[in-house]
Structure 1
Amino acid sequence: MYGMLLESVQHFVQEQFGDHIWKKAIRATGSTNTVFNTHQIYPDSLMPDLAEALAALTGESFDYFMDFFGKCFVRFFTNFGYDKMLKATGRYFCDFLQSVDNIHLQMRFTYPKMKSPSMQLTETDDNGAVLVYRSNRTGFSKYFMGLLYEIASMFYGLDSIGVKVLESKNDNPGSTTGPLQLEPKTVVVKYRLDFDNRDYMAKRINLQVHESQLQLEKVDSSVLLELFPFALILDHEMKIKGAGEKVFESWIIQNPQKKPEIFIGSLVTDCFRLRRPKGILFNWKTVTQMHFVIFELELICSHHSLKSVAHQLADTTSTIDLEHDDNSTSTRILLKGQMRHMTDIDAIVFLCSPLINSVEELHGMGLFLNDLNPHGLSKEMVMAGWQHCSRLELVFEKEEERSDELETSLELADSWKRQGDELLYSMIPRPIAERLRNGQNTLDTCQSFEQVSVIFGEDTTPSEDSLQDAMRAVSTLNAAFSAFDDEVQGPMVYKVETVGHVYMAVSGAPDKNPLHAEHAADLALNMVRRMKELNLPNVTVKIGIHSGSVVAGVVGVKVPRYCLFGDTVNTASRMESSGLPNKIQVSHFTAERLKKAGYKLKQRGFVKVKGKGEMETFWLEAGPDKQ
């Protein structure tokens, strides 16, 4: 909702209940706003939350404050001059109720993101009327009642108006305890308004029996279609029963691939898109109750060239010249007018005219000046180049659609970038990748590390004798390595690579870490634990660790990898290959560091290591006791 509604609430709450109550209420809602901007958008839930907070602070009910807020808004908008607009809508309260949607229509450029409710006056009598209210906001029915009370009193002198809810659908009486956002126009409330309506009803009866009406002869509907060449006649099923010559020709031009004879008898929604009023059910019952509301229909077109249909109209009309340039494309036609129920033929007639801004736009629609209504200012407006609000709004909506598409594309691009970054960081450590992005040469990323600990873990899956065994081995490796990946989190340990059944990781590179041996030992213990938890049949893991110096850097251009080089890597690999299933074998150098840190180790003795001779090794059994 726009800030003007909340400004009205703040002003009158501070005036009637005091500034201290307002500050407590705004804090209770969790809002950080101390003032509200007239044209800024705020959450719809804020007003019901304020009503709930004020009810708790003052002892009044939630409904009392929502009704109070509605009255506040009517008193407040007089500061903006909107009271003059309301007074000009009609002599009677019913005239205003029939014109509310049109008032919102006129304000759509001042408040372009306004989600205005829709109202239909369904019944009128001497004692009042029945009003149907539709909105995409829940919890605002009492607010609307407050609006009605205040408008009836301030502008129409009706101090004793009664408002009663006859039916309610999907409205939530509380604040944010229920669903505050439903699908558009989900909330439907039918009100009975009791007030003195005798003057309005007398005016209607006088018009119906006036001598000027009784002396008129019946006129054939074809005459009406001649006067309004863009008019439509709709039956109870909302099918096109008749149409003016020009709207029929325009449909053929805009839809050259369709047979002309299918237009008559088609559903109006198959040929036109309802642009206004928004959010209503476009059916017979609704439309017959909204004969004072302005309707806008947009002709649905297939975007084909006008020239491609010249042969279809050659035999039927000579008023439209279809010889346009090859670059000419069709422009969608907007029709604006009223839906009137003609009791004589029991049909709805859409009396309308096309909205055209300029001669160039007229040409783009395949129309000429003599095709427009012979009455009114349609031709003069085209010649003068006057801009229709609906045309401007259509451009605005299209730009919003493009903006939404652009935002979606940017979000998608960001998502792809994140996925690309994740893939890159799986091959190259983040600090190294950032250096390469900044234009650094791959050779410049090479770095020597005095002390790191290298871990090798081998999955001892049985050999694959058949295709089925190979598939089972792949599944087993995936489960095991995925579990290991879960343990390699944060900057303390980095996964270097997996080759076949072997998993390689390092602690102390690329981020230097004085506790590299301890973190490598913790990872190894967790790897053994996770393998036991997986409980894979006939599958174990043997792990080797050695600490020492290495050289690390990025190797490769097409598929770059972060690699480690040095005798430390070779020794760690030998610790793994000479180990035993579900055991962690560490070198003497690493064992000495771990003993000082409190890790539990068991001497294995001297083991013959390929390329190294005999080496004293140890089994890592557990971490330090946690106090």
Structure 2
Amino acid sequence: MRFTSRFGYDVTIKSTGRYFTDFLQSVDNIHHQFSFTYPKMKSPSMYLTEIDENGCVLVYRSSRSGYTSYIMGVLEECANYFFHLKIKIKILEEAHSASGSKKNILVRFRLDFENKAYMLHMQSKENVQRFAKLHPISVDLFISLFPFAVLMDRSLQVIAVGDNYSKIWNPNELCINKPASKYFRLQRPKGISLTWKNMRNLQAVIFEMECNRGYDNFDENRAEDSKETENANVIAKNYLLLKGQMKFIPDINSIVFLCSPIINDIGELNLQSLFLNDLNFHGLSREMVLAGWQHNSKLQTMFDKAEQNAEELELSHELLDQWKKRGDELLYSMIPKAIADRLSTGTPALETCESFSSVSILFCEIVGLQSETVKETMDMVTTMNEVFSAFDQLMDKFNVYKVETVGQVYMAACGAPERVENHAQIMANVALNMIDVARAVEVPSGIPVDVRVGMHSGHAVAGCVGIKVPRYCFFGDTVNTASRMQSSSEPGKVQISLDTKNLLPEGAFKMESRGYVKIKGKGDMLTYWLWEN
């Protein structure tokens, strides 16, 4: 209650009446007003059935279950925060009911609180009316004062209607002494049926009823919110929306629906076979029509438009998420996910540089490709794309990081940026699989291609380099040595250094000494051929 009061909702509650009982009787009307601000709000229905000096009985009806305890807490805090009352609430009855395809929960609460002030107030109103000594008036005069009123008896038979119905009603169909349900359908309050008990209990609630004006019975399948002009005109011509209050008249044991038609604008009057003189003189109907004010149905159009905008916004958010996902996938293809996530949080690129004591670096070059003509060049590009794409799948399988491709050379690393102990063994398996994968690729030219692989393990530094097109790169002598292992290797073979051999588990692979090989910039190095065991 304190939180919502910061946004001005306390003003609405405080304005409902002087007493807590007044507030309870006006809850449905408050929800109706808030529905213009929150069109998708599923508000419950509440009404009082018994009122005495010690409290009242509140009936709570909702299409959603599980809110019983929440409602009790809200009522207690409303009474305390706004009306300075301490109340006690107990559940008298809890049941489930079905109205058509909808299921409702119905709870009867007993609210105990000091209600003498409200009862004295109501008694004083009755005393004022009693001392006035007004003479009774005829029902005919009463109906003429409210030209759109509908008078119903306990069996919900229409016993009288206002004078203006004779102007717009089907002359071949008389509604007097016939069931009200044949000509009137309850639109609001939601979730309740048109019964004598509900009309008696909800006299403080605004009712909206749709009248078919005696032209036909209600068609449940008709499109009430049809946007087609022809259908909309037919609906507007045959159906009239009435808004008002149910009032019990004890002298004749009947209920009168004191209402006025809802007209959106002056252009709709002719469609409804109405004129300004037909509208109530004592209401604001004329002023609202002339000023172009919009009632519920017009506001509903605005809500539909707002909902459409919300759906478009939601669709835009979905598209944004899709493009963000694609952007992330592209970024992760350039930079490891862990490093990219650090950069997205604002970490400077230089701080992503790390020193790794032991990593395995692999270089693989496609050999056997030649291009002298345009067609051969295109075939070579296609072949490289097929081979490198197969290598990419291999990297995902063994969770090895692809560093980059330069021309016909493919570079990969294991042990960074994710540190793993057996990086040399993993990379050795990758190297042997790369040879098999390359030989299995179908070449457009028909000439088989092969690869030569080199691998070395040791210390390296890795981090992001570049601003416009950043890349996660490796630096150090280990990278240079691995490159020399590849350039001095032979097609269809994997050459490894002594450092890599020492990291491989005994018996896991077959290794054959190549002897000392002259390596550019390194001198003579002892290297080994790696084979499957």
- TMscore range, shorter length: 0.5 to 0.7
Deviations 1:98-117 (A, max 9, x none): 679x54x5466x79xxxxxx
Q: For the residues of structure 2 that align with 1:559 and 1:378, how far apart are their CA atoms?
A: 74
Q: CA RMSD in A?
A: 5.0
Q: For the residues of structure 2 that align with 1:593 and 1:69, how far apart are their CA atoms?
A: 74
Q: Which of 365, 383, 386 pairs up with 2:287?
A: 383
Secondary structure of the residue aligned to 1:517 is: helix
- Matched ranges for 1:10-21 at <5 A: none
Q: For the residues of structure 1 that align with 2:522 and 2:188, how far apart are their CA atoms?
A: 89
- The change in CA–CA distance for 1:491 and 1:413 in structure 2 (over 3 A counts) is farther
Alignment of 1:403 with 2:310, yes or no, is yes
- The change in CA–CA distance for 1:591 and 1:397 in structure 2 (over 3 A counts) is same
Alignment of 1:336 with 2:240, yes or no, is no
Q: Structure 1 residue 605: deviation in Å?
A: 2.7
Normalising to structure 2: TM-score of the pair?
0.53
- The change in CA–CA distance for 1:575 and 1:391 in structure 2 (over 3 A counts) is same
Aligned to 1:114: none
Residue type matched to 2:237 in 1? G
Give unpaired runs (5+ residues) of structure 1: 5-35, 42-67, 112-146, 152-276, 278-286, 301-331, 341-352
Residue type matched to 1:381 in 2? S
Corresponding pairs, count: 341
Secondary structure of the residue aligned to 1:608 is: strand
Q: For the residues of structure 2 that align with 1:396 and 1:430, how far apart are their CA atoms?
A: 43
- The change in CA–CA distance for 1:38 and 1:452 in structure 2 (over 3 A counts) is same
Aligned to 1:160: none
Residue type matched to 2:335 in 1? I
Q: Which of 348, 373, 388 pairs up with 2:275?
A: 373
Alignment of 1:477 with 2:380, yes or no, is no
Q: Structure 1 residue 410: deviation in Å?
A: 1.1
Q: Which of 510, 524, 527 pairs up with 1:600?
A: 510
Aligned to 1:585: 495
Aligned to 1:437: 344
Deviations 1:41-92 (A, max 9, x none): 9xxxxxxxxxxxxxxxxxxxxxxxxxx9979989978879xxx9x9759899
Q: Structure 1 residue 296: deviation in Å?
A: 6.0
- The change in CA–CA distance for 1:452 and 1:375 in structure 2 (over 3 A counts) is same
Q: State whether residues 518 and 597 of structure 1, in contact with CA within 8 Å, keep that contact through their aligned partners in structure 2.
A: no
- The change in CA–CA distance for 1:430 and 1:290 in structure 2 (over 3 A counts) is same
- The change in CA–CA distance for 1:576 and 1:404 in structure 2 (over 3 A counts) is same
Aligned to 2:525: 615
Q: Which of 458, 468, 471 pairs up with 1:558?
A: 468
Q: State whether residues 65 and 105 of structure 2, in contact with CA within 8 Å, keep that contact through their aligned partners in structure 1.
A: no
Q: Which of 57, 63, 66 pairs up with 1:38?
A: 63
- Matched ranges for 1:457-496 at <5 A: 457-489=364-396, 492-496=399-403
Answer 1 or 2: higher relative contact order, Cα 8 Å, separation at least 6.
2
Deviations 1:204-238 (A, max 9, x none): xxxxxxxxxxxxxxxxxxxxxxxxxxxxxxxxxxx
Q: Structure 1 residue 527: deviation in Å?
A: 1.8
Deviations 1:333-380 (A, max 9, x none): 99723179xxxxxxxxxxxx99655xxx77xx8999xx9734643995
Aligned to 1:533: 440
- The structure whose residues are more often strand, as a share, is 2
Residue type matched to 2:327 in 1? G
Q: Which of 477, 490, 509 pairs up with 2:416?
A: 509
Q: For the residues of structure 2 that align with 1:436 and 1:406, how far apart are their CA atoms?
A: 29
Q: For the residues of structure 1 that align with 2:155 and 2:226, how far apart are their CA atoms?
A: 29
Q: Structure 1 residue 578: deviation in Å?
A: 1.7
Secondary structure of the residue aligned to 1:579 is: coil
Normalising to structure 1: TM-score of the pair?
0.45
Q: For the residues of structure 2 that align with 1:71 and 1:372, how far apart are their CA atoms?
A: 34
Q: State whether residues 595 and 601 of structure 1, in contact with CA within 8 Å, keep that contact through their aligned partners in structure 2.
A: no
Q: State the 4+ residue runs in structure 1 displaced beyond 4 angstroms.
A: 68-80, 86-92, 94-100, 105-108, 287-300, 332-335, 353-357, 365-368, 384-387
User: For structure 1, which segment, 489-498 or 437-446, has the greater mean C-alpha deviation from structure 2 after superposition?
Assistant: 489-498
Sequence identity percentage: 38
Q: Which has the larger radius of gyration?
A: 2
Q: For the residues of structure 1 that align with 2:435 and 2:106, how far apart are their CA atoms?
A: 76
Alignment of 1:412 with 2:319, yes or no, is yes
Q: State whether residues 182 and 217 of structure 2, in contact with CA within 8 Å, keep that contact through their aligned partners in structure 1.
A: no
Q: State whether residues 439 and 449 of structure 2, in contact with CA within 8 Å, keep that contact through their aligned partners in structure 1.
A: no
Residue type matched to 2:333 in 1? S
Aligned to 1:215: none
Q: State whether residues 62 and 104 of structure 2, in contact with CA within 8 Å, keep that contact through their aligned partners in structure 1.
A: no
Q: Structure 1 residue 96: deviation in Å?
A: 8.4
